[in-house]
Amino acid sequence: MSAVIPVQSSHTDRSAPAKRWTVSQIDALFALPFNDLLYRAQQVHREHFDANAIQRSTLLSIKTGGCSEDCGYCSQAARYQTGLERDELLPLDEVLTAARAAKESGASRFCMGAAWRGPKQKDLEQVIEMVREVKSLGLETCVTLGMLKDGQAEQLKDAGLDYYNHNIDTAPEFYGKVIGTHSQTDRFDTLGKVRGAGINVCCGGIIGMGESRRMRAALIAELANMEPPPESVPINHLVQVEGTPLAEAAPLDPFEFVRTIACARITMPTSYVRLSAGRQEMSDELQALCFLAGANSIFYGDKLLTTGNPETDRDRGLLDRLGMKAV
Ligand code: SAM
Ligand code: DTB
Ligand code: SF4
């Protein structure tokens, strides 16, 4: 087995070209005995990070529901009857109240999400104001607004935006089965604009949508082969939302989710790997395994965008019990 899995040389210099990973190499990582895979992930993790430190980001949905897109997992797509109430873009003062509360409870980054295919210029101007003001509270800023047009990333950068979240979600061969209103190529186009403007990239995907292991490997390969790989890699477990096409997706073996985290860690040694959506449905023990596999970031606060996340008290308790500290 080890013949097909090269040992990664350490890659701390982000200016040097990263190693390219083939899908087969990552598939071979997935196929390792669980303990061997986690051991490798731990070695890589400890080479680049404090293995007991965790970064915390708080999410806020600044514009909820009514989205034109057809993403098969999403509660916010207008075309699915998910029972979600639509909201217009939140006023600045509500956003700032939430950002202050996030800072107070210990988050280092505040991430604002909008259910858009992409922002219209007049909406972008309001978001830019939010970014400026949130940043002035001493928080890192992140937004996820959908696809960007030329010039929009630069405007966000000028406002002081630190991260743009834009996921590629799944393997290229599975993308069209989940989403029909835009392509993965469109997503890469926006990621290029974000990178080009000098904004940090937050890009990951969703596991548990009925994809095969090979497809999970292909998703990780696409992420790891970005030049450079994303600074932040959210690995979401599908949250099954009633009314969406993926509400009845077949359950995933939880160890397969842990393996995905480990593969992300090994192939993207210097990136923050975020254990993202789906934590509320996970046991403390499963989350601890994800941290052992190299996840070193979480969404913190009792709501994601429209679905639940563990209460902050539960998270504080978990991190305490594991002897982990926030960064
Ligand atoms: N509309 C923008 C976009 O699509 O990029 C921003 C918001 S969208 C909700 C952000 C990401 O949330 C999606 O790309 C997807 O990875 C994740 N997501 C949405 N619904 C989810 C669900 N039910 N379970 C897991 N992840 C989900
Ligand atoms: C990401 O990868 N996960 C977050 C964030 N980026 C924007 C969103 C998760 C959404 C989960 C479903 C919901 O709450 O609507
Ligand atoms: Fe719209 Fe984003 Fe949901 Fe897709 S994931 S339906 S683009 S809000």
Give pLDDT tens digits along the chain (327 positions): 333 444 343 344 555 566 799 999 999 999 999 999 999 999 999 999 999 999 999 999 999 999 999 999 999 999 999 999 989 999 999 999 999 999 999 999 999 999 999 999 999 999 999 999 999 999 999 999 999 999 999 999 999 999 999 999 999 999 999 999 999 999 999 999 999 999 999 999 999 999 999 999 999 999 999 999 999 999 999 999 999 999 999 999 999 999 999 999 999 999 999 999 999 999 999 999 999 999 999 999 999 999 999 999 999 999 999 999 999
Tell whether ligand 3 has an atom less than 6 A from the beta carbon of residue 171.
no
Q: Using a 6 Å cutoff on CB, does residue 234 contact ligand 2?
A: yes
- For residue 255, the tally of other CB atoms under 10 A from its CB is 13
Rounded distance from Cα 115 to ligand 3 centre (Å): 6
- Give the residue numbers marked as catalytic: 67, 71, 74, 111, 142, 202, 274
Query: How far is the centre of ligand 2, averaged over its atoms, from the C-alpha of 75 (Å)?
Result: 10
Query: At a CB cut-off of 8 Å and minimum separation 6, what does 125 contact?
Result: none
> Which residue spans within the chain are E strands per DSSP?
53-63, 109-114, 140-144, 163-165, 200-202, 205-207, 232-237, 272-275, 297-299, 325-326
Q: What is the pTM of this model?
A: 0.95
Residue nearest to atom 18 of ligand 1 (CA): 74
Which of 67, 147, 170, when mutated, tests ligand 3's pocket best, judged by the most ligand atoms within 8 Å of its CB? 67
